[in-house]
Amino acid sequence: MLLLLRTVRHLQARQILNRLTRRFAPEPLMGDAPPARMSEGTPTTRSFLPRPISCLGSGRFRFLNQERTVYPEDFGKRKDGLLWDYNFHYFDGLLAPLPDYDAKARWVEQWLAHVPVGSRPAWDPYPVSRRVCNWIKWSLSSGSHELPGLLPSLASQVRHLERTLEYHLMANHLLANAVAITMAGAFFAGREGDGWLARGSALLEQQLDEQFLPDGAHFELSPIYHSVILEDLLDLMIVARRLGVGLPSVVESRVRSAADWLAHMIRPDGRVPLLNDAAYDQGPRAAEVLAQTERMLGPAPAPGDGLHYLEGSGYFRYRSGRLFVLGDVGQIGPSYQPGHAHCDMLSFELCWEDRPLIVDTGTSTYEISPRRSAERGTAAHNTVQLNGLEQTEIWAGFRVARRARVEDVVAEAGKISAQIRAFPAAWSRLHRDWRFSRGESMQIEDRILSNPAGLPATTRLHFHPDVKLAGRGDLWSAEGLQIRVEGALAVRNVEYLYAPEFNTLRTARCLEIDFDDHLLTQIHPIRSSHTKL
């Protein structure tokens, strides 16, 4: 009960009220569809980013790296796992290169025939939001608006979405609701369509102001979710431009700043770090989203070398020569919705010669399980842990009670440092600083500032599965870099599971370094002259 109370105290009153009233959600409103604003020349050449192939034919579907047979009569039934079900009802695969139009049309027709109106999870607001956008984009790409039953169902889904907005969750779910209603208002004409456009635009403008930080980051601080949201906004702009409909000016300004933030977060290999909830199969490649932004809004300056501190989100970036580092000195995320947050304060990723070397461990599942807890936990990140305790009080699949707090961030030329007040079970203070010198060398200093219970400390370095790690004791090497530690009580080379995508686990190596109250970790090229910092 205390755990629940410590979680609920951070929620907004509107979230609590909406959660209580959702069980009385009204039935979907049926009726005729308003006319579509199909401009001359429709269908248009597809300008949306392609999605992975998920409809494989013969009743086979693939989502989350799991392939299953789902016959039409089972489309509306629950399968194994809510997230797989949600993906099934998104219809992202309509934007995939395969199958052909006829197969996609049969897929939609079978869904219309076999999924009961209002059934769950198909008619949950988030799947409705994603499906509405995908059906509209597919209609503009293929002329599928002439498919019998598609437009009336689409209109009914938008009516239902308007009355079941996800104020209990807020954050990216409510933003997806706003994008879908706005896109439907751009797609449909007449009084009802104009009303959707007005109400969706108002909600969208409000949430863009609420959810984007001054440096351009989405406030849930997941680079993957940020990429998904940026693509959604770009798609909305494409639809609005194609149909001659205006959008609030804040949409374009947020797209520009969000793209600038994402450009800072891309590693040399074209991927983003797997910070917080992140899996590469759950969003578009960041480089493709930035290329789409450039096509829509023109080129933007690329981040330069050196240290860049993104103060709003609390991330930093350093690049010089062959060395590239991304680190986290930010807070846990929005206080009222930290469900996608991990215990990763003071963690970082490192690339060498354009390859990921030290990485975050990723996310393989959202199901409540020991695996989910482990992937959100402190030990899954490249940071300091005290005696197996968690930085922040995480529980269930998406719950957070008492939270760690970042304090005293200092960013200077070639150096960034921060301290955290963490580990609610035995409140302690930890300090870490990163120092960059001679271009391709770095040093990490960890200090335990306060440790009332005298708990032992461990810091971890998780290596990418393709990295060959060698050494022993205080001296190690990995792909041309030397790693030397000073102040270690013990160093262990242990196995861990790297999770780059859902339901995907790869064996890799991790250095676990025990220390008392001070640890120095130096990383530098093996073949270069090295001066101790």
Q: Which long-range contacts (CB under 8 A, 24 or more apart) does 390-393 make?
A: 390/343, 390/423, 390/424, 390/425, 391/343, 391/344, 391/345, 391/420, 391/422, 391/423, 392/332, 392/341, 392/343, 392/422, 392/424, 393/3, 393/6, 393/424
The burial of 81, by beta-carbon neighbours within 10 Å (0-12 exposed, 13-18 middle, 19 or more buried), is given as middle
Enumerate the β-bridge partners of residue 509: 495
Residue 277, pLDDT above cutoff 70: yes
Nearest 5°: CA angle at 296, between 142 and 96?
35
Tokens of 189: 């004409």
In CATH, what is the architecture of 306-525?
Distorted Sandwich (2.70)
Average pLDDT, the chain: 93
**CA–CA gap between residue 62 and residue 85 (Å, rounded):** 11
Interatomic CA distance for residues 262 and 216, integer angstroms: 8
Considering only CA atoms, give the Rg of the chain: 24
Mean pLDDT of 480-496: 98
pLDDT, residue 39, reads 61
Q: Are 462 and 358 in contact (CB under 8 A)?
A: yes
For residue 253, the model assigns a pLDDT of: 97
Secondary structure letter of residue 217 according to DSSP: -
Q: Is the pLDDT assigned to residue 82 strictly greater than 60?
A: yes
Distance CA 298, CA 102 (A): 36
Cα 62 from Cα 444, distance rounded (Å): 42
The tens digit of pLDDT for each residue in 182-208 reads 999 999 999 999 999 999 999 999 999
* 533 has a pLDDT exceeding 80: no
**Mind listing the pLDDT tens digit for each residue in 305-334?**
999 999 999 999 999 999 999 999 999 999
Q: How far is CA 295 from the centre of its chain?
A: 23
Q: Give the pLDDT mean for 490-515.
A: 98
Contact 188, 33 (CB under 8 A): yes
Instruction: Report the range of poorest mean pLDDT among 137-146, 250-259, 403-412, 451-460.
Output: 137-146
- Report residue 129 as tokens: 């939001």
- Tell me the per-residue pLDDT of 98-107, one tens digit each, with 9 for 90 and over: 999 999 999 9
Alpha helices by DSSP H, listed for 244-376, are 249-265, 286-297, 370-376
* Residue listed under structure tokens 């130096």: 522
* Whole-number Å distance between alpha carbons of 217 and 254: 9
Under the banding of pLDDT at 50, 70 and 90, the label for residue 45 is very low
CB atoms within 10 A of CB 234: 24
Distance CA 259, CA 493 (A): 38
| Alpha carbons 165 and 299: distance in angstroms, whole number | 35
pLDDT at 424: 95
Domain with CATH 2.70.98.70 in the chain: 306-525
Structure token pair of residue 14: 């509107």
Mean pLDDT value of segment 135-163: 92
- Please tell me the predicted confidence (pLDDT) of residue 41: 47
User: Please, which pLDDT band fits residue 46 given cuts at 50, 70 and 90?
Assistant: low
Is the confidence at residue 527, as pLDDT, over 80?
no
Helix (H, G, I), strand (E, B) or coil at 266: coil
Domain limits, CATH 1.50.10.100, in the chain: 14-25+169-302
Range 14-25+169-302: architecture per CATH: Alpha/alpha barrel (1.50)
State the pTM of this model. 0.95
pLDDT of amino acid 15:
80
Q: pLDDT, tens digit, for every residue of 379-436?
A: 999 999 999 999 999 999 999 999 999 999 999 989 999 999 999 999 999 999 999 9
| CB-based contacts of 28, cutoff 8 Å, min separation 6 | 117, 118, 123, 156, 157, 159, 160
d(CA 240, CA 450) in angstroms, rounded, equals 55
CA nearest to 259, candidates 216, 222, 229: 216
pLDDT at 51 over 90: yes
What value does the mean pLDDT take over residues 147-154?
93
Greater confidence (25 vs 391) lies with 391
Alpha helices in 370-474 (DSSP H): 370-376
**If you average pLDDT over residues 232-260, what whole number do you get?**
97
**Would you state the pLDDT for residue 111?**
98
Residue 531 has pLDDT above 60, yes or no: no
Q: What is the 3-state secondary structure (H, E, C) of 297-318?
A: HCCCCCCCCEEEEECCCCEEEE
**DSSP-assigned letters across all residues of 76-115:** TS--S-HHHHHHHHH-GGGGSS-S-HHHHHHHHHHHHHHS
Could you tell me the maximum CA-CA distance found in the chain, to the nearest angstrom? 75
pLDDT beyond 60 at 44? no
